[in-house]
Amino acid sequence: MDTKSIGGDDHRTPLYRTPQICNEDYNSASAGIWGSLASWEDSKGTRWVLTPIWGEKHSAFKAPVEYGEVEDGAVVAFKLEEKSGKLALAPAWISQNMNRAEPPVIANGIVFAYGNGEDTTQSYPDVGLADTPERRIPGSTHAVLYALDAQTGKTLWSSRNQITSWNHWSGLSVANGRVYIGTYDSNLYCYGLKK
C-alpha cells in the first residue's frame, strides 16, 4: 500500500498484490494466511517480507528456492523490488513443510519460525462448523521450532520432537541470544546457542 494514500483514490487499490500463495480451494476454516507479516532489511539494503501460510501452497505459485512439497504450511519470503518504476514483491524462497506455520521473527540473519502443531479443522461433515476442544485437541500434535537462513530459507536447525505440546497463536520471542516459545500445556521452552 502507498503510505501517502492508503488504497489510492478509491481506498482499496494496492500498489502491488501478490499472486495467490496458498488456499487454492478457499478453505477459510483451516488454510490460508492466519498470521501477521514479518519484515527485515539485509546488509545490502534489500527489504524482505515474510508470511506464514497454513495448508498447501497454491499449485501455480513458485519461488526460485523451495524445499519440497508444502502440505501443512510454510514460511514464504519475498524481496521488495522496483520494476518499471513500481514496487513489487518477488518470491525468493519457500521453507520446508511446517505444520501450520506461524509468524516468524528475524534476528541476526536467522529466521526463527515454527509450525504450531495445532489441529485447525473447524468444520466437520457430521456437524458442520463446530470449533470445539473435544474435536480439535485430540488431532493436535506438537510445535516444531526452526532456525532458517534468512537469505535462502534453508533449515539450519529444528527442535524436531523436543517440544511435546502444540501452540495456539502465542508467537515467538527473541531476546539476548535466546528464542522462547510457549505451548498449550503451559510450558515455556527456551533455546539458545551452544557456547
- Whether 143 shows a pLDDT value over 90: the answer reads yes
Q: What is the pLDDT of residue 195?
A: 61
pLDDT tens for residues 53-95? 999 999 999 999 999 999 999 999 999 999 888 899 999 999 9
Indicate the range of 6-10, 42-46, 184-188 predicted with least confidence. Answer: 6-10
Q: What is the topology classification, in CATH, of domain 38-192?
A: Lipocalin (2.40.128)
| Residue 79 confidence (pLDDT) | 98
Query: What pLDDT was estimated at residue 193?
Result: 76
pLDDT digits (tens, 9 = 90+) for 19-41: 999 999 887 667 889 889 999 99
Q: Answer yes or no: pTM beyond 0.85.
A: yes
Report domain extents, the chain. 38-192
Q: Which carries the bigger pLDDT value, residue 41 or residue 1?
A: 41
| Lowest model confidence (mean pLDDT) among 1-10, 144-153, 161-170 | 1-10
Grid coordinates belonging to 165: 505440546
The pLDDT of 142-149, averaged and rounded, is 98
Nearest to 97 by CA among 113, 121, 120: 113
Strands of 178-182's sheet, edge to edge? 172-175, 178-182, 188-192
